[in-house]
Amino acid sequence: ACEYGVGAVLTQEYEEKKYVIAYASRTLSTAERNYGATERGALAIVWATKHFRPYLEGNKIYVRSDCKALEWMRTAKDVTG
């Protein structure tokens, strides 16, 4: 997540290679631009998960992010609240 938008890449691993399935991005609203870097990183993950939900449901997924402050999400059972 950057100052003005969020983006995501959906990939699938096959025979130890990763293949891009889809790209997605959107601009942040005026209010979202006031979020700190950690909040924007969390927003990006939640938004991407919702955006790609039809592809993700019923499958084991791995989330990769460059936001180190979100490491706690790796072990969270339910991050939807």
Binning pLDDT at 50, 70 and 90, where does residue 70 land?
Answer: confident
Residue 18 within any structural domain of the chain: yes
Q: How many domains does the chain have?
A: 1
Q: Are 40 and 65 in contact (CB under 8 A)?
A: no
Sign, Cα dihedral of 62, 67, 71, 73: negative
Residue 79 lies in a domain: no
Residue 19 has pLDDT above 70, yes or no: yes
| CATH number for position 31 | 3.10.20
80 domain residue, yes or no: no
- Kindly state whether residue 55 falls inside one of the protein's structural domains: yes
**53, containing H or E segment:** helix 53-56
In a domain, 19, yes or no: yes
The C-alpha atoms of residue 55 and residue 61 are separated, in whole angstroms, by 10
Asked if residue 81 belongs to a domain, the reply is no
15 occurs within a structural domain: yes
- Write out the residue range of the structural domain in which residue 58 sits: 5-74
Q: What average pLDDT does the segment 28-41 reach?
A: 93
